[in-house]
Chains A and B, each alone.
Chain A
Amino acid sequence: MKGRKRITFGVVIFPGTNCDRDTYHAVEALGYRARYLWHVARGIPQDVQCVILPGGFSYGDYLRAGAIAKFARIMDAVTEFADRGGLVLGICNGFQILVESGLLPGALLQNVNLRFICEHVYILPQRFDTPFTCAIPEGRPLRIPIAHIQGRYTYGSQKEKTCALFCYCDRNGNITGDANPNGSEDNIAGIVAPGRLNVAGMMPHPERAAEIVLGSNDGAWIFRSVERWLS
Chain B
Amino acid sequence: MAQKDINPRHKALCKALAMKEEEYWRLVRLLGREPTETELGMTAALWSEHCSYKSSRLHLRKFPRKSWRVLAGPGENAGAVDIGDGYAVVFKMESHNHPSFIEPFHGAATGVGGILRDIFAMGARPVALLDSLRFGNLDNSRMKYLVDGVVSGIAFYGNCVGVPTIGGETDFDPSYNGNILVNVMCVGVVKHERIQSARAEGPGNPVIYVGSKTGRDGIGGATMASEEFSDETEEKRPSVQIGDPFTEKLLIEACLEAYEKDLVVAVQDMGAAGLTSSSSEMAAKGGVGIELDLDRVPLREKGMNAVEIMISESQERMLIIGRKGEERRLIRLFKKWGLDAVVVGRVTDSGKIVVKHKGRVVADMPASILVDDAPLYRRPVKEPSYLHELREFDVFSLPEPRDLKNVFEKLLAWPGIASRQWVYRQYDHMVGTDTVVLPGSDAAVLRVKGIKQALGVTSDCTPRYCYLDPFTGGMQAVAEAARNLACVGAKPIGITDCLNFGNPEKPEVMWQFVKSIEGMSKALRYFQIPVVSGNVSFYNENEALGAAVHPTPTVGMVGIVEDVNKIVPAWFTEEEHAIILLGSPGEQLGGSLYLKVVHNLVAGEPPEVDLKAEKALQRTLRELLSRCLVSAVHDVSDGGLAIALAECSVASSDAVGFSVEVPVYLRADAALFGEVQARAVVACEPENTYDVMRIARKHGITARFLGTTGGRYLDFKGMFRISQKRARRIWAEAFERVLR
Contact = CB atoms under 8 A, between A and B. Distances in A.
B608 interface: no
A147 B436 contact: no
B428 A116 contact: yes
A116 B159 contact: yes
Interface in B12-54: none
B565 interface: yes
B162 interface: yes
A186 B543 CA distance: 54
B246 A118 contact: no
Contacts of B160: 16, 18, 57, 60-61
Contacts of A117: 425-426
A147 B565 contact: no
B425 A118 contact: yes
B160, B337, B564, B565, most chain A CB atoms within 10 A: B160
B249 A16 contact: yes
A147 B247 CA distance: 21
A205 interface: yes
Nearest to A17: B162
Interface stretch (A2-10, A128-136, A207-215): A207-215
A118 B429 contact: yes
Contacts of A149: 159
A83 interface: no
Q: Shortest 4 CB-CB distances between A and B: which pairs?
A: A18-B162, A60-B246, A57-B160, A22-B433
A89 B160 CA distance: 21
Interface residues of B, number: 31
Contact of A57 (B246, B427, B429): B246
Contact of B565 (A60, A211, A213, A215): A213
Nearest to B421: A119
Interface of B: 152, 155, 159-162, 244-247, 249-250, 337-338, 424-433, 435-436, 438, 447, 449, 564-565
Interface of A: 15-16, 18-19, 21-22, 25-26, 55-57, 59-62, 115-119, 145, 147, 149, 205, 207-208, 210-211, 213-215
A84 to B, nearest CB: 29
Nearest to A171: B653
A213 B246 contact: no
B214 to A, nearest CB: 20
A184 B565 CA distance: 36
A129 B245 CA distance: 40
Contacts of B433: 22, 25-26, 207-208, 210-211, 214
A61 B161 CA distance: 11
19 contacts: A15-B246, A16-B160, A16-B246, A16-B249, A18-B160, A18-B162, A19-B431, A22-B432, A25-B433, A26-B433, A57-B159, A62-B246, A115-B152, A116-B425, A116-B428, A118-B424, A147-B431, A210-B433, A213-B565
Nearest to A145: B430
A166 to B, nearest CB: 18
A57 B438 CA distance: 22
A16 to B, nearest CB: 5
B646 to A, nearest CB: 22
A207 B449 CA distance: 15
A118 B427 contact: yes
B161, B244, B246, B429, most chain A CB atoms within 10 A: B246
A213 B564 contact: yes
Nearest to A210: B433
Contacts of A16: 160, 246, 249-250
Given A55-B431, A57-B246, A214-B436, 9 more contacts: A15-B249, A15-B250, A16-B249, A22-B431, A60-B245, A116-B155, A147-B428, A207-B433, A211-B433
A226 B152 CA distance: 37
B436 A15 contact: no
Contacts of A25: 433, 449
A213 B161 CA distance: 24
Given A59-B246, A62-B246, A205 B155 contact: no
Contacts of B449: 25
A161 B429 CA distance: 35
A211 B424 CA distance: 22
Contacts of A211: 433
A116 B426 contact: yes
A211 B432 CA distance: 13
Nearest to B250: A15
A214 B426 CA distance: 19
A55 B152 CA distance: 20
Contacts of A62: 246
B162 A19 contact: yes
Contacts of B244: 60
Contacts of B161: 18
A147 B246 contact: no
Contacts of A118: 159, 424-430
B535 to A, nearest CB: 27
Contacts of A115: 152, 155, 425-426
A18 B249 contact: yes
Contacts of B438: 215
Contacts of B436: 213-214
A60 to B, nearest CB: 3
A63 B267 CA distance: 32
Given A60-B246, A116-B155, A147-B159, A214 B435 contact: yes
B155 A15 contact: no
